[in-house]
Chains A and B, each alone.
Chain A
Amino acid sequence: MATATVASQNTVVHEHQDHHEHEHHDNFITKYLFTTDHKMIAKQFLVTGMFWALIGGFLSTLFRLQLGFPDMNLEFLRPILGGWIDEAGKLDPTFYLALVTMHGTIMVFFVLTAGLSGTFSNFLIPLQIGARDMASGFMNMLSYWFFFVSGVIMFISLFLKTGPAGGGWVVYPPLSALEQAIPGSGMGMTLWLIAMVFFIASSLLGGINYITTVINLRTKGMSFSRLPLTIWAFFLTAVIGLLSFPVLFAAALLLVFDRSFGTSFYLSDIYVAGEALPNTGGSPVLYQHLFWFLGHPEVYIVLLPALGITSEVIATNARKPIFGYKAMIISMLGITILSFIVWAHHMFVSGMNPFLGSIFMFLTLIIAVPSAVKVFNYLTTLWRGNLIFTPGMLFSIGLVSFFISGGLTGIFLGNSAIDIQLHDTYFVVAHFHLVMGSASFFGLMAGVYHWFPKMFGRMMDAKLGYIHFWLTFVGVYMIFFPMHYIGIAGFPRRYYSWTNFEFTNSYTDLNMFVSIAAIITFAAQAIFLFNFFYSMYRGRKATLNPWNSTTLEWTTPIHPGHGNWPGEIPTVYRWPYDYSKPGAAEDFIPQHIPLSQTPESNLPHEQELVKVELEIMREEADLVANESKH
């Protein structure tokens, strides 16, 4: 036994040296640009996502100015917006639509899909399952650069003379197919479609990698029943993306055909701009089916990773195992499967057969059950914990709050009879901004604060984090909660102004309040940006395991190189939530500590596993010893 240990240590040292030689070849381009290291790719996704979040947030402050202060002279925006401000100092109504469209597209796809999944799936999957890197580092690199190209194309579209796409983020045809109907459906829409094709390619490359890595590259002992919930979430998210993004691709492709090659998939019986078009036989509702076949799972693509991150952060900072680990996994599996068969609840009043509407109402309200289970499990995890409010923990609790608030309003909208009145009103805006937008954004923030020490080897400033949290948390509620009232009053979405109708000619005060809250909340993100970039260089140096966490990423060095562990990858002997185990000296036992080393805290069934474990360890040691003889 003793010789075996020595032998294995020798191999460790040997590998370590190999590794160093490797790293010397890194230059700027291979280290920061065309890197295949999953950690650097994650950072690329994160920083790009932050850039897009700023653009998307900025666009929203522009249209909130219009909605909250309809009489304001916006002349001061002319340096940025140029001709989109008319002579009277008003925002152009077409550009208003372009603003809401780009805000939605950017936030949903670039920030909450790429920025969230791209960052944390990349960063955490290899680190938490014990792998040296992704299954294919090259594909991973491609994934980022496809995303980058997609972003460049979308960014260019913002500066077109005819404006970017303006038909809403769902880009329903015929509006998105006909340049005569809205100028944004010209070049702007073409660039939107090209950008989305690149984005879909990026998502698929990433998703295939995540799935392959989780299935194939788990370290010894890391069975599926020992995976942290983050990994389960990322894994299922990737599965959803892999199955649903191709359908969006198909939808986009048919739209390209209709726009450029004279086909009639979505177009029929149209008389526009004084001319009857030749297209007949197409159906705009077909596009809606295809779009929402991605569009609805997309909601879970942005939400599941956030929920996964939250599970991890809450368990760690409550110093308690996540309650109902298996129930959490089953809930996520349930959500994954159900997410594919609820899409048409976005289309209750689209003219779709009402019987189909009934079916989708049943399926939709079923999905509320696993979501409810998750909330109850989070609450029980907090119960009788020993809660430490790190910024990550605060954002996780905030997420649970948004998930409840926004989730409950989903029960109204999923009920087709009630949806007749609420569809496409501000009630919907309030609903999805809370449950999908803000909840996922808070998951992203929780993740950044929690894993920043692992990313950069330094800590973010906690006090600034608290201020950032409270301003953002209160701010988000001040923005979106009032929208429920406006929505119940029937205010429709995507309206440039409210004065044309008597039933909407009220609540100017509330709209002003919302706009002010939005601008303050947006400005508060500067605190985060400062904290992020300042701490990257000047933050307090992190310790190896600053949150006393159990998962594998904290067993790597403070600055893990390419390959993550200098020596052998640790073996996993237990589930990831051994916090505050009775009998244990510390309030956490990392996953790589064998059960045989913790007889004082083992549960009865674990005590039986100790024998098996020792057996395996002995075989392992023999193997290593044999190998080093050669």
Chain B
Amino acid sequence: MYGFLIAVGALLLLSVVWMVYRIQTLVSVVKGSDKKIATGSNKVNAFLFLVFLVGSGALMFWYSVKEFDNYQLPIASEHGVITDELFWITMVVTGIVFLITHILLFVFPYKYQYKEGRKASFYPENHKLEILWTAVPGVVMAGLVISGWMAWSDITAPAPEKAHVVEIMGYQFAWDVRYPGKDNVLGDYDYRLINASNSHGIDFTDKNSIDDFPSPKVVIPKGEPVLFKIRARDVLHSVFAPHMRLKMDAVPGMPTRFWFVPTKTTEEMRAELKNPEFEYEIACTEICGRGHFSMKKVIEVVEPAAYQKWLSEQKTFIQQNPSLAEGLKSETKELAGIN
């Protein structure tokens, strides 16, 4: 019944719109406005550009200021301070260009709207102007590029040797974390070794893998360099830690890396944001299938002393599941401490 009423209502509305349209057309024919070059609508459109400029400009400024703390995520890494600074410098430069060009773009239509009897000025070229506005963007761009390039080179430079290594492996639809243990070297892996009890495909015949241990979350020390070694098991994924300003794809068959220095512990960030529930998060930013939107891993940043303590408390893969060591040579088993 309601459906029928809605249909009738819609039909009536449409016919009203139709009538208005026809009447409007007929009126314009009678007035002869279809023969004119520019009708009253020309003035209305010119004026609307001004209205749009003022209205949308005000909306933009109001919202940008009001929401600043919500869209500006707090920074928790050393390089994040630099990239954010670059971001805001670029924002100021482009913001100025944005405003000037838009003011011109919307004021000109108002100012130079059609007037009968006026003739537009014949102004086909001006080489000086062209050179000027080729050179100025060129110089500004060069400045932005060079500062960006310097930051990029530092960020992507090889990690310091003492960096704490953490392996993050993406798969549909979660992240697995592996630590290298005391030797700070991750053991070899081979995707063909993956099975239900060895989800990483770790090769335990490699001595380096004996002290490797898993962790349900990424724990890292504040103020010390951390190197994420990133890989994927099935399809592309991408490690994104928004507060760390960190992003790197996880590629099957091609390990990638990203190193950084966290600057605030989780506790400090909780205090800063007055949110006792706050956690640093890792999300996936490369489309990977049905569960793409749910690949979450928590990062916990702690003081270096607490980190060392945590490290010493962790149990290796083999300690957690001695069956993994089956078939290994006895001396390796001794190293693993399970004889």
CA of A464 to CA of B129, assembled, Å: 39
> Which single residue of chain A is at the shortest CB-CB distance from B133?
A376
Chain A residues whose CB sits within 8 angstroms of the CB of B134 once the complex forms: 369, 372-373
Interface string of A322-366 (1 = CB under 8 A from B): 111111000000000000000000000111001001100110011
Interface string of A469-485 (1 = CB under 8 A from B): 01001100100010001
Q: Indicate if B337 sits at the interface (CB-CB under 8 A).
A: no
CB pair A389 B42 closer than 8 Å: yes
Chain A residues whose CB sits within 8 angstroms of the CB of B235 once the complex forms: 174-175, 178, 181, 270, 272
Q: Indicate if A563 sits at the interface (CB-CB under 8 A).
A: no
CB pair B145 A417 closer than 8 Å: no
Q: Indicate if B124 sits at the interface (CB-CB under 8 A).
A: yes
Given contacts A365-B144, A421-B242, A579-B120, contact A495 B293 (CB under 8 A): yes
Q: Indicate if A506 sits at the interface (CB-CB under 8 A).
A: yes
Chain A residues whose CB sits within 8 angstroms of the CB of B161 once the complex forms: none
Q: Give the residue of A174, A377, A384, A579 whose beta carbon is less than 8 angstroms from that of B236.
A: A174
Which chain B residues in 181-207 approach chain A with CB under 8 Å? Answer: 191-192, 194, 201
CB pair B253 A283 closer than 8 Å: yes
Q: Give the residue of B105, B112, B288, B290 whose beta carbon is less than 8 angstroms from that of A385.
A: B112
> Which single residue of chain A is at the shortest CB-CB distance from B44?
A466
Chain A residues whose CB sits within 8 angstroms of the CB of B153 once the complex forms: 354, 358
CB pair A415 B125 closer than 8 Å: no
CB pair B253 A372 closer than 8 Å: no
CA of A493 to CA of B256, assembled, Å: 21
CA of A474 to CA of B287, assembled, Å: 31
CB pair B247 A271 closer than 8 Å: no
> Which single residue of chain A is at the shortest CB-CB distance from B98?
A408
CA of A408 to CA of B99, assembled, Å: 11
Q: Indicate if B2 sits at the interface (CB-CB under 8 A).
A: no
Given contacts A489-B73, A540-B34, contact A375 B101 (CB under 8 A): yes
Q: Indicate if B252 sits at the interface (CB-CB under 8 A).
A: yes
CB pair A401 B102 closer than 8 Å: yes
Q: Indicate if B152 sits at the interface (CB-CB under 8 A).
A: yes
Q: Give the residue of B91, B285, B293 whose beta carbon is less than 8 angstroms from that of A497.
A: B293
Identify the stretch in B82-90, B212-220, B303-311 within 8 Å (CB) of chain A at 4 or more residues: B82-90
Q: Indicate if B13 sits at the interface (CB-CB under 8 A).
A: no
Which chain A residues in 485-513 approach chain B with CB under 8 Å? Answer: 485-486, 488-490, 492-498, 500-504, 506-507
> Which single residue of chain A is at the shortest CB-CB distance from B91?
A412
Identify the stretch in B276-284, B317-325, B327-335 within 8 Å (CB) of chain A at 4 or more residues: B276-284
Given contacts A351-B251, A408-B97, A421-B242, contact A270 B115 (CB under 8 A): no
Q: Give the residue of B49, B145, B172, B289 whose beta carbon is less than 8 angstroms from that of A415.
A: B145
CA of A324 to CA of B130, assembled, Å: 8
> Which single residue of chain A is at the shortest CB-CB distance from B149?
A358
CA of A349 to CA of B284, assembled, Å: 13
Q: Indicate if B326 sits at the interface (CB-CB under 8 A).
A: no
Distance between A528 CB and nearest chain B CB, rounded to angstroms: 14
CA of A490 to CA of B194, assembled, Å: 33
Chain A residues whose CB sits within 8 angstroms of the CB of B223 once the complex forms: none
CB pair B249 A386 closer than 8 Å: no
CB pair A325 B149 closer than 8 Å: no
CA of A351 to CA of B234, assembled, Å: 16
Which chain A residues in 362-406 approach chain B with CB under 8 Å? Answer: 362, 365-366, 368-369, 372-373, 375-377, 379-380, 382-389, 394, 397, 400-401, 404-405
Q: Indicate if B38 sits at the interface (CB-CB under 8 A).
A: yes
Given contacts A268-B253, A383-B112, contact A412 B87 (CB under 8 A): yes
Inter-chain residue pair count (beta carbon < 8 A)? 340
CB pair B45 A503 closer than 8 Å: no
CB pair B112 A501 closer than 8 Å: no
CB pair A503 B242 closer than 8 Å: yes
Identify the stretch in A81-89, A213-221, A313-321, A550-558 within 8 Å (CB) of chain B at 4 or more residues: A313-321
CA of A492 to CA of B237, assembled, Å: 12
Q: Indicate if A280 sits at the interface (CB-CB under 8 A).
A: yes
Given contacts A181-B289, A369-B137, A582-B122, contact A174 B112 (CB under 8 A): no
Q: Indicate if A580 sits at the interface (CB-CB under 8 A).
A: yes
Chain B residues whose CB sits within 8 angstroms of the CB of A276 once the complex forms: 191-192, 194
Interface string of B233-275 (1 = CB under 8 A from A): 1111010101101111101111010000000000000000000
Interface string of A419-463 (1 = CB under 8 A from B): 011011100000000000000000000000000000000010111
CA of A376 to CA of B45, assembled, Å: 22
CA of A205 to CA of B134, assembled, Å: 36
> Which single residue of chain A is at the shortest CB-CB distance from B28?
A463
CA of A377 to CA of B155, assembled, Å: 38
CB pair B45 A507 closer than 8 Å: no
Q: Indicate if B15 sits at the interface (CB-CB under 8 A).
A: no
CA of A199 to CA of B52, assembled, Å: 39
Q: In which size bucket is the chain B interface?
A: 35 or more
CB pair B120 A423 closer than 8 Å: no
CB pair B252 A174 closer than 8 Å: yes
Distance between B299 CB and nearest chain A CB, rounded to angstroms: 12
Chain A residues whose CB sits within 8 angstroms of the CB of B37 once the complex forms: 388, 548
Q: Indicate if B4 sits at the interface (CB-CB under 8 A).
A: no
Interface string of B33-55 (1 = CB under 8 A from A): 01001110110111011001000
Given contacts A351-B256, A357-B156, A470-B48, contact A424 B238 (CB under 8 A): yes
CB pair B253 A320 closer than 8 Å: no
Chain A residues whose CB sits within 8 angstroms of the CB of B118 once the complex forms: 386
CB pair B252 A270 closer than 8 Å: yes
CA of A377 to CA of B72, assembled, Å: 35
Which chain B residues in 41-96 approach chain A with CB under 8 Å? Answer: 41-42, 44-46, 48-49, 52, 56, 60, 63-64, 67, 70-73, 80, 82-84, 86-87, 90-91, 93-94
CB pair A268 B252 closer than 8 Å: yes
CA of A182 to CA of B48, assembled, Å: 48
Q: Indicate if A15 sits at the interface (CB-CB under 8 A).
A: no
> Which single residue of chain B is at the shortest CB-CB distance from A386?
B120
CA of A97 to CA of B284, assembled, Å: 15
CA of A251 to CA of B106, assembled, Å: 44
Chain A residues whose CB sits within 8 angstroms of the CB of B104 once the complex forms: 379, 382-383
CB pair B290 A94 closer than 8 Å: yes
CA of A423 to CA of B97, assembled, Å: 23
Chain A residues whose CB sits within 8 angstroms of the CB of B19 once the complex forms: none
Given contacts A421-B87, A502-B278, contact A379 B101 (CB under 8 A): yes
Q: Give the residue of B41, B124, B287 whose beta carbon is less than 8 angstroms from that of A167.
A: B287
CB pair A417 B155 closer than 8 Å: yes
Q: Indicate if B119 sits at the interface (CB-CB under 8 A).
A: yes
CB pair B145 A320 closer than 8 Å: no
Q: Indicate if A172 sits at the interface (CB-CB under 8 A).
A: yes
Interface string of B20-31 (1 = CB under 8 A from A): 010011001000
> Which single residue of chain B is at the shortest CB-CB distance from A384?
B121
> Which single residue of chain B is at the shortest CB-CB distance from A481?
B60
CA of A387 to CA of B47, assembled, Å: 13
CB pair A416 B293 closer than 8 Å: no
CA of A373 to CA of B130, assembled, Å: 7
Chain A residues whose CB sits within 8 angstroms of the CB of B246 once the complex forms: 420
> Which single residue of chain B is at the shortest CB-CB distance from A494?
B287
CB pair A175 B289 closer than 8 Å: yes
> Which single residue of chain A is at the shortest CB-CB distance from B56?
A477
CB pair B90 A175 closer than 8 Å: no
Q: Give the residue of B119, B142, B294 whose beta carbon is less than 8 angstroms from that of A500.
A: B294
CB pair A283 B254 closer than 8 Å: yes
For the A-B complex with A384-B123, A463-B28, A492-B283 known, give 5 more contacts whose Cβ atoms are closer than 8 Å.
A93-B293, A172-B287, A323-B123, A389-B42, A466-B41
Minimum-distance CB pairs A-B, first 4: A268-B253, A354-B156, A490-B242, A351-B256
7 A–B contact pairs at CB < 8 A?
A: A181-B234, A318-B120, A389-B46, A411-B141, A417-B155, A474-B56, A504-B283
Taking Cβ atoms with an 8 Å cutoff, the residues of A that contact B are 93-94, 97, 167-168, 172, 174-175, 178, 181-182, 267-272, 276, 280-285, 318-327, 349-351, 354, 357-358, 361-362, 365-366, 368-369, 372-373, 375-377, 379-380, 382-389, 394, 397, 400-401, 404-405, 408-409, 411-412, 415-418, 420-421, 423-425, 459, 461-464, 466, 470, 473-474, 477, 481, 485-486, 488-490, 492-498, 500-504, 506-507, 540, 548, 577, 579-582, 587
